[in-house]
Structure 1
């Protein structure tokens, strides 16, 4: 989607603009390219927590190898668009109802996060006369790489600490209701460096191969998680996927692992297919600082507040001005972009330079296709929800 297409959407809008726009054609092209670069031994699953709307899932049905979910509700969202697409199920807090639902909905792999979860799944599966295919989620003892979020290499609620994995392998092999298919190791998130991510996968290979040798096993799968990030600070300097895949191909050729490799990426697939548009309803100054108030904010787009960053944006000027008095604005100034909520934390970009910004203009936040609407507190203060518009051969609103 280009700036002209964003401007086209603004034409004819009479109410203050507040909308998510998603470019489905771009999403399909992007995922086709990502998947094409992967070695043939790898599978690319989409982690739907990033954006679980049906048009997104439908666009990825034939483009990804399946979907990664983290709740029974997400399983049901996937099954609402396709009854047979492969689904893998993660998350530390699976209830009995979720485990039973996963079996009922024919989930391909269940990622087991603790001994208690393993025993409950075995018990539920045996009651249903089923066998659940599982991966044991490992919290590795050592993770040298740094990233925005860490789920492993330290005490956390995720996975099974590395020292306990041998006992859990032995237990899983003894339980008739589960079938051990491999391991899930997802220790960091939002890594932006391809070389360090490749080194991380080599460490995962070391762990998986050591346990295979120890127990005479042949794992079917090693799920290496997602963890590949999006650079919000420098949108033109993104993760080198092509270089990463070339390095991964060389690593696989050298190591010859017998297992397949699963990626479960979320934001890396969908972030750049989405835009969040919010009209400027006021521009004012307080104690030497400039502020733009938007029709919208963190109740629609929580990501910048959650990650404490200035989200990248462009300004879409609008010449129409309906009032008989002057139009407030700033010229070549630092300005803070604020939402409409009654909290000083409702800030999407702080002290950002703009050439010109006026009331009535629109701000388009880039890279908003993941963890935007879907992690936000939509009904705080009961403001109207944004339009959610899917652009393809036609326009669909929900």
Structure 2
């Protein structure tokens, strides 16, 4: 079994629940398991640790399954969406929960749908988007509450992230130098009402100290514009951007973002800056990653050109995250003793092995040259931290393989909901 990640974020590997599931299945296993009880506890912990002036929204792009949204309803302060389809997913579980709507490519139909579905705040990403929203809102005899999304001119030198959406040329947000003109334009348009700013420039930051430096920069920008233009913002959306460490991409493969330290530092920042607006976080991956497991049986173990390979009943068409991020995803092995064949069982012991899916492409690799004590055909590989950006970013129907079973496990009552 390979070494597991630091438990400060990753779910305790509840072997009994996983084992119970395996023992209940006949034939090969390929499934997602989501621990809803753990998700409830985690969301409540994250929300309660924030200073009182902050709100925690869930970015549903990470995992938009209805049982996940239902679990997070009232355990977060609302939902962040990036399409009309996501708005409708949220409204299907609750007609009143606050929704904030981001994304650079909002169509007229999406803007109109957002107004129809009573979205609380729309994040405006360009002058054209602002003018279209004003035009649509006036035609509907409505006024849209908006935040202007800022692409800052620069970020603190120690800002650490896997992805950057700001501080450099990207499709996201409005260039910082254009914000004064955009503020004036927003104030002149009768169909919109400026409520604040949206500053979300980095993604997957694992360092709490550098993230505090980024937030301090955001607060300074917002307060400077308030003072300069005699505004009173109600909201500053600072995005998500808080990362999950999946392993080898970082100097310490087992360190996770220190939420407790971050919240303490954030309270100190608020005491120093004394902002009068609410600070909104819109986390996705950081909330749901550790509620999910992806399980795939080993269909074959073989050696080619001196390297060992395990072929899984599954792969990147179900769980694209490792291929997308180019990392070795953390996993553990659950043994399955049943062996129905009258010939030897393919096995690798005490050696590095590469875990591959069933697709006809060499890119279908979920972990490469990772040491295992033992792995046999018929055993089950359990990928951890699979609750976010797993199924939902994958190319499900490539080669028309069967979809995995998706199980929502309420471990407190030992009940299961299946999809």
Q: What does the per-residue CA deviation read over 1:340-384, in whole Å, with 9 as the maximum and x for residues that have no partner?
A: 000000000000000000000000000000000000000000000
1:15 is displaced (CA, Å) by 2.3
1:227-266 mapped onto 2 (5 Å cutoff): 227-233=241-247, 236-266=254-284
SS in 1 for 2:221: helix
Give 2:402's match in structure 1, choosing from 381, 384, 392. 384
Q: Contact 1:134/1:180 (CA < 8 Å) preserved in 2?
A: yes
Structure 2: unaligned runs, 5 residues or longer: 1-12
Equivalent residue in structure 2 for 1:155, among 138, 148, 169: 169
Q: Is the 1:92–1:113 Cα contact (8 Å) retained in structure 2? A: yes
Matched, 1:326 2:340: no
Mapped to 2, the partners of 1:89 and 1:62 lie a distance apart of 18
**Mapped contact 1:335–1:351 kept (Cα < 8 A):** yes
Matched residue of 1:164: which SS? helix
* 2:207 pairs with 1:186: no
Determine whether 1:279 maps to 2:297.
yes
* Conserved 8 A contact 1:235-1:312: no
CA distance in 2, matches of 1:219, 1:199: 21
Shift of 1:62: 1.4
Partner of 1:356: 374
Give the alignment's TM-score, normalised by structure 2.
0.94
How many matched pairs? Answer: 398
What runs of 5+ residues in structure 1 fail to find an aligned partner?
Answer: none
Q: Is the contact made by 2:56 and 2:78 (CA closer than 8 Å) also made in structure 1?
A: yes
State the alpha-carbon separation in 2 of the partners of residues 10 and 309 from structure 1: 27
The CA distance in 1 between the partners of 2:263 and 2:25, in whole Å, is 44
Alignment partner of 1:11: what SS? helix
Aligned to 1:337: 355
Q: CA deviation at 1:254?
A: 1.4
The RMSD of aligned alpha carbons is 0.8
1:30 positional shift: 0.4
Distance 1:214 1:124 in 2: 30
> After TM superposition, what 4+ stretches of structure 1 lie above 4 angstroms from structure 2?
none
Structure 2 partner of 1:19: 31
TM-score for the superposition, normalised by structure 1: 0.99
Equivalence map 1:77-116=2 (5 Å): 77-116=89-128
Number of the residue aligned with 1:168: 182
Contact 2:236 2:277 in 1 (8 A): yes
- Alpha-carbon separation, structure 2, partners of 1:114 and 1:167: 12
